């Protein structure tokens, strides 16, 4: 075989390899799209889209959350819910960095939420707190930043225990915190801003001074706490809603649990609906929010359950199922906020929840 023939053959092989590589890439891309296409989205006013199922990271321990985030992204999740107080943003950030460097996802393909902790409600504290979350998450912008609670602690206080460690609404009105959120948005540090655990009257208070209307309220929501009135209020005021603790957050620390809490995961009616659809109880609970056009962020650090929860998007509850779930007859709030109230606090439960 002459030199020219060898060169021609080599050219053919590398050309074929190139074609194979290209075909491989196209198939991978197509598969990725297929996975994502099954997802449903909520749409912000500017057209940005929020994948309706996100991975919750509250209670996900360092040492576990890194794998959880990577499993979730590999399974097709594109929405990760974080918060400074979860004390794991550093490890979530390592997972993002790994996912980006491995080409698993690009930054712009994922939707990342974080939350302003109670000790940074003064105007001048909001941006430094957000920047700290960005540093830990190894990102240069957030998709969504939320005021975590309508409760303020003094700067540097992790969890207020005495009256002196709290700020009152007189010290730091919610309008001041919201102005800080608007500034963060205007500086391009976050694409969207909103809140978590805000009731109707607190939302109305923010609306009064807001130059940028809040776009999200993240609240506890499941069949035991369907939040009909608050959801209707948010939607009629142009806000999207995200459901937290959709499975009842059974892995909470004992000190924030009550005795004899009712169990969503062991509820007979939810089980019957799961049997009817040949799916799991967890999937029914997740599908419950999706069918109400509410995003939902089940937490898991178990690879199998992470996949199972994402597959809830395919559970097709019918009108009878939804009616039954919305009228389940058990009324219960798991995260009741009583850890922020009491004699050593200026706040009462009426600052948090409407009756």
Residue positions annotated with a catalytic role? 86
Give whole-number Cα distances, 337 to 153, 161, 168, 204, 240, in Å. Answer: 14, 14, 16, 20, 22
Query: Which spans of this chain sit near ligand A2P (rule: CB under 6 A)?
Result: 56, 245-251, 265, 280, 282, 298-302, 305, 308-309
Give whole-number Cα distances, 295 to 168, 220, 307, in Å. Answer: 31, 12, 17
Cα gap 159→178, rounded to integer Å: 21
Total count of residues recorded for the chain: 355
Over its C-alpha atoms, the chain yields an Rg (Å, rounded) of 23
Q: Residue 250, SS3?
A: coil
Tokens of 117: 């902790």
Cβ-based nearer residue to ligand A2P, 182 or 308: 308
- What is the pairing mode between strands 41-43 and 142-147? unpaired
Cα gap 264→267, rounded to integer Å: 5
* Element (DSSP H or E) covering residue 56: strand 55-56
Cβ-based nearer residue to ligand A2P, 139 or 295: 295
Cβ-based nearer residue to ligand A2P, 129 or 264: 264
Cβ-based nearer residue to ligand A2P, 189 or 216: 216
Contact (Cβ atoms closer than 8 angstroms) between residue 53 and residue 286: yes
**Backbone conformation region of residue 145, classed left if phi is above 0, alpha if psi is from -120 to 50, else beta:** beta
- What is the pairing mode between strands 240-244 and 41-43? unpaired
Identify the CA nearest to 193 among candidates 152, 142, 231, 233: 142
Q: Residue 243, SS3?
A: strand
Nearest residue to ligand A2P, by Cβ distance, number only: 282
Give whole-number Cα distances, 309 to 244, 265, 287, 313, 319, in Å. Answer: 14, 13, 9, 8, 21
- What is the pairing mode between strands 240-244 and 216-220? parallel
């Amino acid at each position: 075989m002459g030199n020219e023939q060898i060169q021609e053959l080599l050219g053919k092989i590398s050309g074929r390899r190139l074609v194979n590589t290209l075909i491989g890439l196209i198939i991978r891309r197509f598969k990725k799209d297929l996975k994502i296409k099954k997802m449903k989205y909520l749409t912000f006013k500017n057209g940005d889209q929020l994948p309706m199922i996100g991975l919750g990271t509250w209670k996900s321990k360092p040492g576990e959350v890194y794998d959880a985030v990577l499993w979730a992204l590999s399974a097709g999740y594109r929405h990760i819910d974080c918060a400074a107080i979860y004390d794991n943003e550093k490890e979530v950030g390592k997972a993002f960095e790994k996912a980006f460097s491995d080409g698993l996802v690009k930054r712009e393909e994922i939707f990342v939420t974080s939350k302003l902790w109670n000790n940074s409600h003064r105007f001048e504290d909001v941006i430094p707190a957000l920047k700290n979350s960005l540093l830990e998450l190894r990102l240069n912008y957030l998709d969504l930043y939320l005021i975590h609670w309508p409760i303020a602690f003094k700067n540097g206080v992790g969890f207020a225990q005495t009256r002196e460690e709290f700020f009152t609404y007189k010290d730091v009105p919610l309008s001041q915190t919201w102005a800080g959120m608007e500034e963060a948005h205007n500086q391009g540090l976050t694409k969207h801003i909103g809140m978590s655990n805000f009731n109707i009257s607190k939302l109305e208070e923010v609306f009064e001074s807001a130059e940028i209307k809040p776009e999200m309220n993240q609240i506890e929501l499941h069949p035991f706490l369907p939040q009909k009135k608050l959801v209707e209020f948010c939607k009629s005021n142009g806000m999207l809603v995200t459901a937290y603790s959709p499975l009842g957050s059974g892995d909470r620390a004992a000190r924030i649990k009550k005795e004899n809490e009712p169990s969503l995961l062991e509820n007979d009616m939810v089980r019957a609906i799961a049997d009817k659809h040949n799916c799991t109880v967890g999937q029914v609970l997740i599908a419950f929010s999706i069918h109400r056009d509410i995003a939902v962020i089940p937490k898991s650090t178990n690879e199998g359950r992470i996949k199972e929860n994402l597959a809830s998007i395919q559970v097709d509850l019918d009108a009878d199922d939804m009616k039954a779930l919305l009228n389940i007859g058990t009324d219960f709030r798991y995260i009741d906020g009583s850890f922020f109230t009491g004699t050593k606090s200026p706040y009462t439960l009426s600052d948090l929840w409407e009756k």
